[in-house]
Amino acid sequence: ADQTDYLRFSRPIRWLVCKLESETIVFPFYDLMSGDVSRGHRALGGTVIIAHAEEYERALQEHRVIVDQERRRELILSGLTARAEVLGGRWLDPGDVLAEATYLVESPSVEHGRFSAAKLRLPSDVLITAMQSHQRYFPVCAPDGQLLPVFLYVSNADPAFAELVTRGNQRVLEGRLDDAEFAYERDAAEGLRNMARRLDKVVFHERLGTLAEKTIRLREMTAWLSSCTTADAALRTTLDEAAAIAKADLVSQVVIEFPSLQGTMGGVYATVGGFPEAVARAVAEHYLPLSATAPVPSTLSGGLLAVADKADNIIGAWVAGEKPSGSRDPYGLRRAAMGIVRISLQYTLRFSLRALVDAACMAYERQYKGLVGEDGAQEMFAFVRERLEALLLEEGVPYDVVAAAFGSSAEDIPGLAARARAFAALRETPALQDAAVAYTRCASLAMKAAEQGDGVDQALFADAAENELFTACRAAVAPIHGALEHLAIERALTAAAGLRPTVDRYFDAVLVMDADPAVRANRLAQLAEVRDLLGAIGDLGRMAI
């Protein structure tokens, strides 16, 4: 290779072995030459001659290198469990340190160390994060869930020097915990309200203003969401108080040191500061869910605050001109949109998704942050709805069924999901099939809506079938819309299916495309009325039945 070229690799390449059974394949690779010489553990091994490809793992193991990562992982797992049991507890790994440790060591052994029991007065999340984020240690808790003043660590050193290595790890952790203790005490003394007053000095995004301005938008959005739910005065107060301090912990010393504790520390400081438990819980949970499958907030107030925050982030990206594209999503907006979907489903939040987007856009417009326009609002509406589509498809709901549900008049996430799931479960039933036939027959002609009049004029009816359909359609309005309001999709389909015999008789008796323009327009208007009524359930013609 041209020596002016450079190879980017995650680790320095010191040697290269290439074997085909017993034959050594020699070739140049940048400034290296392949061969049959490898090396074992830096301290416990030595030079290894690989005589045959099949001897590779065994030869390295003799020099204290376990090649198979699954075997290393199993050794670490068994070591952690055994050591924790000896200490009278069980090990924890909320930060998934195990996966990282597996790839950091060649010949793993599990050891334990101790720290001052006085440090247990710190919040457990602070202790755990201090152990895991910097040191890759494993906390140990007692059977009652309380942390013990011990930790486990995975060593790659000679076990003969375990005591020396442990003393070093203990010294480092004590220093970390001293720093965390100082930061925590300083934060607790300052309090969230004082922290919140400093948010006007912290930029949320260069084009979107400060965290203080974001806080104003959150309060507006939570007020709007409260108006869309059955929130009582207590919940509205909880939401407003939580929104006012939700971002305050971002200027705390602990969160600056441990960013993963954002929200969590807000909840802790809210409790310490005397805020109601419901407020503290909402603040602590408003970043949830942290992934597409992670838990959602455990309270309605936390869920509503989370929806407000995620909606603000999504709209902000469009306002700032940084919407996701392709695989690029630096602000995790797809995750945020999925969070809105999952929270809405968890708590059956029936707000209009389009109205949510509009409300968030207005919050930005009131601060003169920029406009997204009708096209941008439609893009964001579709962006969030696509996450619901992905969720339903992952559940196994067929694509045509999802399309039928999304073709309904519903704009709320629970309403769309309920339709899709019900259609999937009922697509072989007479109720859905009859409703689909009635809808499709009317919709196929009602597409000629340009010829449709302002409404249905009974005075223009010339056949009894027209009166019969008119009466049946009006009688079905309350049952269908009432069922949809309660997400009783099967009941709505049953009511819609009841129209099929009347629709069939109508088409048998009536020539819709009458020569008289007024009669023709009136009949098209009547079919459009039936189409719109049944279309509130879904675009049933899109399903393959």
Which tokens belong to 455? 């409404």
- Evaluate the CA torsion angle 345, 347, 350, 353 in order and state its sign: negative
245 CB neighbour count, 10 Å cutoff:
24
Q: Which of 2, 30, 1, 4 is nearest to 16 (CA)?
A: 30
Which tokens belong to 115? 């720290």
- Rounded Cα gap, residues 444 and 214, in angstroms: 48
Residue identified by tokens 């007020």 is 223
Residue 308's identity, in one-letter code, is A
Rounded (10°) CA dihedral 114, 117, 121, 127:
0
Q: Which of 70, 127, 66 is nearest to 99 (CA)?
A: 70
* pLDDT score of 1: 45
* CATH code, residues 429-542: 1.10.730
* Residues, the chain: 545
Q: Which of 423, 419, 398 is nearest to 410 (CA)?
A: 419
Phi, psi of 298 (to 5 degrees): -85, -5
Phi, psi of 202 (to 5 degrees): -115, 125
72: left (phi over 0), alpha (psi -120 to 50) or beta: alpha
Residue 331's identity, in one-letter code, is Y
Q: H helices within 427-463, ranges in order?
A: 430-446
142 CB neighbour count, 10 Å cutoff:
12
Query: pTM for this one?
Result: 0.88
The verdict on whether omega for the bond into residue 289 sits within 30 degrees of 0, i.e. cis, is yes
Residue identified by tokens 């075997």 is 71
Asked if residues 433 and 496 have their Cβ atoms less than 8 Å apart, the reply is no
3-class secondary-structure state, position 288: coil
3-class secondary-structure state, position 96: coil
Residue 386's identity, in one-letter code, is E
The structural domains of the chain, with segments of one domain joined by +, span 1-65, 69-190, 199-395, 429-542
* pLDDT score of 4: 53
* pLDDT score of 34: 87
Q: List CB contacts of 65: < 8 A, sequence separation 6 or more.
A: 40, 41, 45, 106, 107
Burial of 432 (0-12, 13-18, 19+ CB in 10 A): buried
Helices (H) and strands (E) in the chain, counts: 22, 12
Residue 309's identity, in one-letter code, is D
Asked if residues 292 and 345 have their Cβ atoms less than 8 Å apart, the reply is no
Q: H helices within 351-429, ranges in order?
A: 353-366, 373-395, 399-406, 413-426
Q: Which DSSP symbol is given to 114?
A: E
- Rounded Cα gap, residues 145 and 467, in angstroms: 71
- The partner residues of 138 in beta bridges, in order of sequence, read 152
Which ranges of the chain have pLDDT less than 70? Answer: 1-5, 369-370, 449-454
Phi, psi of 520 (to 5 degrees): -60, -45
Residue 499's identity, in one-letter code, is L
81 CB neighbour count, 10 Å cutoff:
14
- Rounded Cα gap, residues 291 and 337, in angstroms: 11
Q: Which DSSP symbol is given to 55?
A: G
- Rounded Cα gap, residues 51 and 57, in angstroms: 12
Asked if residues 543 and 413 have their Cβ atoms less than 8 Å apart, the reply is no
Radius of gyration of the chain from Cα atoms? 32
Hey, what CATH topology would domain 199-395 get? Hypothetical protein af1432 (1.10.3210)
* pLDDT score of 449: 58
Asked if residues 47 and 39 have their Cβ atoms less than 8 Å apart, the reply is yes
* pLDDT score of 373: 78
